């Protein structure tokens, strides 16, 4: 059996601030991968740009740090290229729900077979703390000294309306819970969204570890039915007292690669291309 250390790249250490919630996400992911005994050579970790999105540098799996907001098209492509790989994408809330919002919605409705970890820290951490789309109306940040005038988006509600087949939320300060959630997301066949409350100790002093420890409760303790859309929506929208973490909704449906007849013969990456001659096509279209 593998241990979390088996997924660590030993050539460098994360440059996150001491206390950053990304350390919790990193540990939760490594714990989940070791729990599933995944071979690092069979995992691709794809990210965008941001503090959290630097993570692939420090894992010994395959890794791609792409462009801001673009990890999902690349992750979808990696999965289509070799659907035997476990493909995990990692974004911050700006990467996923700001600039990457269009990709987010389309990857969910396609049911791209990817696990998506989103560090929800309410700010653009890397660029010095501007309010992100999950910052609540009135939140003070370096870019909104009088409070952000915009109401926050609700990623889980968006996921629900985009036909996401696995919708969950974790907390970077609750590792046993988060690592289980990530393992469930990886095991799920289809797109799994795991939005993660991630304290940013540098730029958001309100939503720290103590705040989430006090405010969150585990959905598993209230007999929540993960197959019931209405119950899931109720849990997503009910912000009156405490914040639920856990799996909100789960369903099985065809994944993107199942819909493509060309994958029935096995992964594209394993095809023999030695004897394929594309000269005729080039000749047809060269002038
Ligand atoms: C096309 C483009 N626009 C803007 C930027 C600048 N930029 C880099 S990271 C970032 C926001 C990161 O915030 P988030 O995704 O929430 O990640 P965090 O740093 O909070 O983990 C921005 C705006 C960029 N790199 N590329
Ligand atoms: Mg962020």
Say which CATH number the domain at 103 has: 3.40.50.970
Helix, coil or strand: residue 184 = helix
Per-residue pLDDT tens for 252-271? 999 988 888 888 888 999 98
C-beta 131 within 6 A of ligand 1: no
- Residue in 247, 265, 130 with CA at minimum distance from that of residue 192: 247
The rounded percent of the chain whose pLDDT value lies above 90 is 88
Q: Which of 54, 100, 124 maximizes ligand 1 atoms within 8 Å of its Cβ, making it the mutation to test the pocket?
A: 124
* Residue 195 token pair: 């939005």
Range of the domain at 249: 4-285
* CA 84/CA 59 separation, integer angstroms: 19
* Number of CB atoms found within 10 A of residue 37's CB: 9
pLDDT value at position 260? 84
Indicate the number of domains in the chain: 1
- Could you list which residues have their CB under 5 Å from ion ligand 2? 92-93, 121, 125, 132
Total residues found in the chain within this entry: 287
C-beta 132 within 6 A of ligand 1: yes
C-beta 66 within 6 A of ligand 1: no
Kindly report the pTM of this predicted structure: 0.96
pLDDT value at position 204? 96
pLDDT value at position 266? 86
């Amino acid at each position: 059996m593998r241990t979390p250390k088996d997924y660590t790249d030993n050539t460098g250490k994360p440059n996150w601030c001491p206390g950053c919630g990304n350390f919790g996400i990193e540990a939760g992911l490594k714990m989940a991968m070791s729990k599933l005994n995944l071979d690092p050579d069979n995992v691709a970790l794809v990210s965008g740009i941001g503090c959290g999105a630097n993570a692939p540098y420090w894992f010994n799996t395959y890794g791609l740090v792409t462009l801001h907001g673009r990890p999902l098209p690349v992750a979808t492509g990696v999965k289509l290229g070799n659907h035997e790989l476990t493909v995990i994408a990692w974004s911050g809330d700006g990467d996923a729900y700001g600039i990457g919002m269009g990709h987010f919605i389309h990857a969910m409705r396609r049911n791209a077979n990817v696990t998506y970890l989103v560090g929800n820290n309410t700010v653009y951490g890397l660029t010095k703390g501007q309010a992100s789309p999950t910052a609540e109306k009135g939140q003070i940040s370096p870019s909104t000294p009088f409070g952000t005038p915009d109401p926050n988006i609700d990623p889980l509600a968006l996921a629900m309306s985009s036909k996401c087949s696995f919708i969950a939320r974790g907390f970077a300060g609750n590792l046993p819970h988060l690592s289980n959630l990530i393992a469930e997301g990886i095991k799920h066949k289809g797109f799994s969204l795991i939005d993660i409350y991630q304290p940013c100790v540098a730029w958001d002093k309100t939503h720290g570890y103590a705040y989430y420890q006090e405010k969150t409760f585990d959905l598993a303790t209230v007999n929540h039915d993960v197959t019931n859309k209405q119950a899931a929506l109720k849990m997503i929208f009910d912000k009156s007292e405490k914040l639920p973490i856990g799996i909100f909704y789960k369903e099985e449906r065809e994944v993107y690669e199942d819909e493509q007849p060309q994958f029935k013969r096995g992964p594209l990456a394993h095809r023999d291309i030695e004897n394929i001659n594309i000269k005729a096509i080039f000749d047809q279209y060269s002038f």
